Amino acid sequence: MTGHPRLLQAARAGFLLAVAAATYLAFRGHGDDVATAVRATPVPAVGLAALLVLAGLVTTSVAWLRVLGGFGHRLTGREGRAVFFLGQLGKYVPGGVWSIGAHAHLAGAHAVPARVTASTSLVFLGLNVATSALVVGASTAAGSADTPWPRWVGPLVVLAGLVALLPPVVNRLAGAVAGRSGCLRLRPLEVVRLAGLLLVTWGCYAAAVVVITPEPSWSLLGLTAVAFALSYAVGVAVVVAPAGVGAREVTLVALLAPTIGVGPAGAVAILTRLLHTGADLVLALVMWLAARSRRTARTVRVPSDAQA
């Protein structure tokens, strides 16, 4: 048994190295483009966009924890966010399943069955895709975004998103993955709350894109919402790309370029990726440091209690 902790430490170290390597490969060759994008964007705009991205990510963690709670496993906010944000780093490793595995491993320390955690992450992913369909469909139907497809496609996409959000559909998906390890029984009101949280997230991300455009205007919000939500769905579909790198940027540029130009669209796509990657790393680091300081405090208290 003495070798078991060492194997876990080695596995964690290997995972972190894989994350670092995949992140490096994702940005290799784009150094000049990133520098140009950053120089062309005012520092206050980058700061505001970063805050919006951070707000969106924190909101997604609340949604993830609510789904986990639906299985009867309720973690504290600090514990749950540590599991979520550290596990999220797995999405930067090509393959599309590493974040789910990382979540399962980290949640296992809190007595959460691996299949329940995997089901939570898959349901969470499905809710993200379904709400992204609502954003794309509603914006298209309202004519608030200049898209290459006709407006009548909008209501169909909204309908598809609503069907995917039906509690029986969500609960059945969860049950198929969790098996006998757990049962998810989300009621309609809870699904509405989850959808609301994720729609707030899409709003934060869309606003962040608006802020870093060369000529920011809230009239672009509908377009940026469609562009980001659709690029997210494309990134999910391209599982071999770490965190959808490349696929998302191409989609963003394709949808933004007709309105703001190819050059600015490319700069916005690169800077958006940089902001999201940086926010993921910052939140994971903050939660890791918080968990480490808590473990250190517990270790220090034990000897003092024993002496008393």
- 135-162: average pLDDT: 89
* Nearest partner of 260 among 41, 65, 59, 49, judged by Cα: 41
Which one, of 130, 129, 101, lies nearest residue 115 by Cα?
101
With 60 as the cut, is the pLDDT of residue 185 above it? Answer: yes
SS3 string, 123-157, reads HHHHHHHHHHHHHHHHHHHHCCCCCCCCCCHHHHH
Which residues have a Cβ under 8 Å from the Cβ of 112 and sit 6 or more positions away? Answer: 68, 73, 75
Q: Tell me which of 155 and 179 has the higher pLDDT.
A: 155
User: Could you tell me the pTM of the whole model?
Assistant: 0.83
The answer to whether the CB of 276 falls within 8 A of the CB of 249 is no
Evaluate if residue 301 carries a pLDDT over 60.
no
The residue extents of the domains of the chain are 17-24+31-289
Give 220-234 pLDDT, tens digit per residue: 999 999 999 999 988
* pLDDT, tens digit, 9 for 90 and up, residues 19-64: 566 656 655 665 666 566 667 788 899 999 999 999 999 999 999 9
More confident residue, 179 or 232: 232
Q: What's the pLDDT score for residue 2?
A: 43
